[in-house]
Structure 1
């Protein structure tokens, strides 16, 4: 490994000019130690980013009748935070190559102080709804951290280690959702439902610690550049948009339900802030922890197959939630809703596994083999992941807007859950039709089997 002091001084920050993780000698001597260190502090920063992004899922529990905001208004607050976080993922994806992974992590972590301090200033009865909306907009910056963090860590690790590294990075970030909800529960239990500033006071020094750690211990990789050609190619590829649609169903559901769970319990089942907070964290925690299992199952059985079975199960679980909503059965509702969280976690892992598999399959279809095919797949999948992540997160916006409309018109979330159930059914059809359906060859005859003995119909994207 060689670091050019001149280049580093010119560009600012800690720059590594040579990085070759695929070289096993380089990896063992230098790369692995540096990559693991960057992964650790990336997880810390992304974890806090997720906590701040979902901060309003907790703050709305502190907003009693004295705030004068109805349930529809609260759902719109969390929807705004979801929207900004989803949109922020696109520029954050490209910021790593522009500014450097270490430099951008410092900037992105520091920006989390804006919504935290702003919320501390305004969180009291009498503040205008417009002011709350503006602060909710600021919390969206936390949602962009995921995209830049994943892009950065993807560059540090060799292909054979990426799944493990990205799984840890994503899972560690996602757990920021239940952690902030647990912290909110603790504040409500100890200080009371009228003390939201205590929660904000806890997170302010944590943000400062993450900024310092990123500045002190992380590195920039000079070889990482933005491939605008790959970005254009991925936008033109239909599979980018198909996978974005499916990711709306998995990650969009996870983040949308994470924002909405406590509000639904308060609004539909008349839970107190403490009662709601004591249940809210369970679903996001289980959904975060099980995400690597989805990736593992996808590795063994194929991402498309696990994704299809996940969407089928999500459709059934949503049916249970609809039944519980109609009958006002809280135990059955919790069983169905928490099952949805677990399934979204599985689906997050399996859909993420599908993305590189799809582009590698396309490379083989173009006649590429070996490292050439792997390079083609990495190039397009790397560019597509940022866009897919951004659009997928917009599913959280759709969920909260659907809840807002459902509670505003009917006083319950039943209509919203019926819409979600229909959407998951469509996801089932799309997954099967595009990635699992067996199709004849161009002449209308069955394609040959892999061993050439019999004519069988083969999956279009077998193995993704």
Structure 2
């Protein structure tokens, strides 16, 4: 049942939460979970826009800024690194402060990188200053981890793939939306007015913080702690899934940040021409992420993830050939396919995470553990794992931008980088098959005495 607020101004806590209880879910759980999901998506969406801010700011940086293509690739890579690093503390902030309370705080923090960017965004600013301000936008990447951990606890197991996919997909849409905003600004006012983009987002951040304060809830039963992090780090599935998420989400965020720069550097597109194309891939990739979660709910996350990586390797081969032949139409076709497949893979891999620990909970029950305690263990471990896997996966975006930087420095094209990506997808598909499809999966074997097979 719904408890009243705890003592203290503006805090709203739900003391009892049982989403696996069908009667509870139908009576009050579904409505409450969906309301929190809606405002979580809004905050995460704006967080992604801020995180990817410098992927559009570099489109405004003409020759008068004196930053070469390699420098721009590194500039967009820095927020990826910071965003990955803050995801773990953001994950545990949900349990420490409450999902609603932390959403309000994390949304308000987005004001800092926007105000700083508005102050320094002009010719004559040093490259080191640009790097420091770009690093601030990494806080937008942390919003994903706290939002996913929070929403994971609100939904029953059979709805997690859909809910997490919708939450993440709505958040991922922040990338193409800010690119569309930049396109509109460049098309209307020219490439000399980057502050217009920043000004449009300031009221949206305030709106997200207010919405979370007024309409979201804290879950008292959600209690991650340092012990959960230690236990999660000992799980081999945490690291296996981290590698797979590097391949899916790392590709999505890395390509989203770098796509416009590749078009400018390799195909000679102007800022306006690049902006007209860059939003399409992230847009489609964001929209299909819930599809990946839904397919994983129906067919199993491991099966969808395996075939998805096979298709990503084929798309990377197409892009490699197009890059070598300097064929823009073929390049755009292959790159768009990579975005679509990365989106589907994002949904399917994240569905696998709670499924693995749910299987571990069933194993504990079979070994004689209390069912409610086993369910609490599953939520605790999967919440911690989401933070770790999300953080490691985001580092894939850093690797992609660094690969592009090195590739353009060495050869003037992205072809060597695309060959490296092809090899990476082949490794991920082999890993998925070996760990999750070749034989029945034993989930969380160190936590139970009699592990049972599970489909994830």
Per the normalisation by structure 2, the TM-score is: 0.92
Instruction: Structure 2: give runs of 5+ residues left out of the alignment.
Output: 441-451
Aligned to 2:7: 8
Give the direction of change, closer, same or farther, for the CA distance of 1:427–1:461 in structure 2 (3 Å limit). farther
Among residues 110, 114, 117, which one is paired with 1:116 in the alignment?
A: 114
The answer on 1:250 being equivalent to 2:248 is yes
User: Residues 160-185 of structure 1: CA distance to partner in whole angstroms, max 9, x if unpaired?
Assistant: 43333222211110111111111111
Calculate the aligned-residue CA RMSD, in Å. Answer: 2.0
Whether contact under 8 Å (2:242, 2:390) holds in the other structure is yes
Aligned-pair CA distance for 1:25: 4.1
Whether contact under 8 Å (1:358, 1:461) holds in the other structure is no
Aligned to 1:283: 281
Aligned-pair CA distance for 1:306: 1.5
Give the direction of change, closer, same or farther, for the CA distance of 1:256–1:142 in structure 2 (3 Å limit). same
User: Residues 16-65 of structure 1: CA distance to partner in whole angstroms, max 9, x if unpaired?
Assistant: 33333344444444333332222111111110000000111111111111
Aligned to 1:456: none
Whether contact under 8 Å (2:162, 2:294) holds in the other structure is no
Aligned to 2:334: 336
Whether contact under 8 Å (1:436, 1:462) holds in the other structure is no
Aligned to 1:436: 437
Aligned-pair CA distance for 1:313: 1.0
Whether contact under 8 Å (2:121, 2:194) holds in the other structure is yes
The answer on 1:184 being equivalent to 2:179 is no
Aligned 1:264-303 pairs, distance under 5 A: 264-303=262-301
User: For 1:332 and 1:242, how far apart are their aligned partners in 2?
Assistant: 33
Aligned to 1:463: 455
Aligned-pair CA distance for 1:218: 1.7
Whether contact under 8 Å (1:16, 1:221) holds in the other structure is yes
Aligned-pair CA distance for 1:371: 4.2
Whether contact under 8 Å (2:160, 2:351) holds in the other structure is no
Q: After alignment, is 428-437 or 11-20 more displaced?
A: 11-20
Aligned 1:162-201 pairs, distance under 5 A: 162-201=160-199
Aligned-pair CA distance for 1:88: 0.9
User: For 2:426 and 2:188, how far apart are their aligned partners in 1?
Assistant: 43
Give the direction of change, closer, same or farther, for the CA distance of 1:292–1:8 in structure 2 (3 Å limit). same
Aligned 1:3-402 pairs, distance under 5 A: 3-5=3-5, 7-9=6-8, 13-363=11-361, 367-368=366-367, 371=371, 376-402=377-403
Aligned to 2:427: 426
Instruction: Structure 1: give runs of 5+ residues left out of the alignment.
Output: 440-459
Aligned-pair CA distance for 1:385: 1.3
Give the direction of change, closer, same or farther, for the CA distance of 1:202–1:104 in structure 2 (3 Å limit). same
Whether contact under 8 Å (2:181, 2:197) holds in the other structure is yes
Aligned to 1:445: none
Query: How many pairs align?
Result: 442
Give the direction of change, closer, same or farther, for the CA distance of 1:461–1:282 in structure 2 (3 Å limit). farther
Give the direction of change, closer, same or farther, for the CA distance of 1:299–1:20 in structure 2 (3 Å limit). closer
Aligned-pair CA distance for 1:293: 1.7
User: Residues 245-289 of structure 1: CA distance to partner in whole angstroms, max 9, x if unpaired?
Assistant: 111000010000000000000000000001000000110111111
User: Residues 410-447 of structure 1: CA distance to partner in whole angstroms, max 9, x if unpaired?
Assistant: 111111111111111111221111112249xxxxxxxx
Per the normalisation by structure 1, the TM-score is: 0.90
Aligned-pair CA distance for 1:220: 1.9
Aligned-pair CA distance for 1:157: 2.7
Aligned-pair CA distance for 1:376: 4.7
